[in-house]
A = this chain, B = another copy of it.
Amino acid sequence: MRDLPLTLLRALAAVYETGGIRPAGRLLGIQHSVVSRALRDLEAWLEVPLFENRDGQRALIFSAEGVALSKAALDAMKNLEASVLVTREGSSANSVTIATTPSFAMRWLLPRLPGLTETHPKIEVSILVDQARKSPMATGADLNIRMGAQPSQDVDPIPLMDERVFPVMSPGLWEKLGKPSETDDLLDMPLLHDRDPSTSWGIWRKHVGPERLDVRKGPRLTSSDLILRAAEQGQGVALARGRLIEESVASGSLLRPFGDVELDLGTNYWIIANPETGRRRVVQNVVGWLLSEAQNVCDEAPTAISGEEQDQTA
């Protein structure tokens, strides 16, 4: 611990994140020469080459060790960053920090936040977006919302809501492709792929078909949110989580070419409360609100919307 060259590792993390030395310098707000020197010093200190072509003039290539260490360094930096944020914002008695994935935060949580402010005006919510590469509570957030099958480990998760997936595409692309309406038409469509295994075309093909579907063709993006954006821009068909695209379907930026054909994932969203802070009153209030929000949309109940907004929607 005492000898860890933290600044050098930070530089490495920045290089890994941005993919270059000058961009890393910009990210860190320092000169690129410092980053360059940092990499050299780090390699000298480790006595292990982190790059393949350190001498060449063109874009650098990470070695296997370089990738591994960079990932770890970036991870550590992100963790620290998140923890610092939580420490800063979580000091108030009425503040609740929720950690979740970018896509869920963007597509489900953020649109509903105003409702929480109305119900509990005093609660200050901080949303912490992470990649869930750490164990659930490592960030120190009060609540953690995770997607996927039940996390079996030590924690006991609260089921938030179920999920189903189905293909979606932009209206523009739909018309361009001749308004397809049968799942067999997927064969001729550009597919958009996700890293999330529960929204993989392989599962869809297995349960719905068509069997001849080639699940390898098409671009493979790293974030569900990116996938949906690509779909909205008409770049292809995405297998979407129903919960995350309610708004896009309602506003017409995405449509379901195959009607109600969908694949049920069962309960797929879980709340994991921080064992240390999760029992606080405010936190429990937020949990209750989350559960009620999930209910509202799960069972129809468009009439269950609180009165104020009806003027605008009407």
Residue ranges of A at the interface with B (Cβ–Cβ < 8 Å): 1-2, 4, 6-7, 9-10, 13-14, 27-30, 46-48, 64-65, 68-69, 71-73, 75-84, 86-88, 90-91, 133-135, 138-140, 148-154, 197, 276-277
What's the least CB distance linking A202 to chain B, in Å?
14
From known contacts A28-B1, A72-B83, A152-B150, infer whether A88 and B48 are also in contact, taking CB-CB under 8 Å. yes
Please determine whether B84 and A4 come into contact, CB atoms closer than 8 angstroms: yes
Known contacts A46-B84, A64-B276, A154-B197; 10 additional CB pairs below 8 A are A1-B28, A1-B78, A9-B84, A68-B140, A69-B86, A75-B138, A76-B76, A134-B138, A135-B135, A152-B152
List B contacts of A91 (CB < 8 A). 48, 65
CA distance A232 to B140 in the complex (A): 37
State the majority secondary structure of interface residues on A.
helix
4 shortest interchain CB distances as A-B pairs: A72-B83, A6-B6, A68-B140, A76-B76
Contact A77 B7 (CB under 8 A): no
Q: How many copies does the complex hold?
A: 2
Contacts of A10 in B (CB 8 A): 1, 4, 6
Given contacts A69-B84, A151-B153, contact A27 B46 (CB under 8 A): no
The CA-CA distance from A79 to B68 in the complex, in Å, is 12
Report the separation of the CA atoms of residues A133 and B14 in the bound assembly, to the nearest whole angstrom: 24
By beta carbon, the residue of chain B nearest A66 is: B87
Partner of A152, one of B134, B135, B151: B151
With A48-B91, A135-B133 as known contacts, state yes or no: A4 contacts B72, CB within 8 Å.
Answer: no
Query: Contact check: which of B64, B77, B135 meets A1 at CB < 8 Å?
Result: B77
A7 — which chain B residues lie within 8 A by C-beta? 6
Q: Which residues of B contact A90 (CB under 8 A)?
A: 65, 68
Q: What are 26 A-to-B residue pairs whose CB atoms are below 8 Å?
A: A1-B28, A1-B78, A4-B80, A4-B81, A46-B87, A48-B91, A65-B90, A68-B86, A69-B86, A69-B140, A71-B140, A72-B138, A72-B139, A72-B140, A73-B83, A75-B79, A75-B138, A76-B77, A76-B79, A76-B80, A133-B135, A135-B135, A151-B152, A151-B153, A152-B152, A153-B153
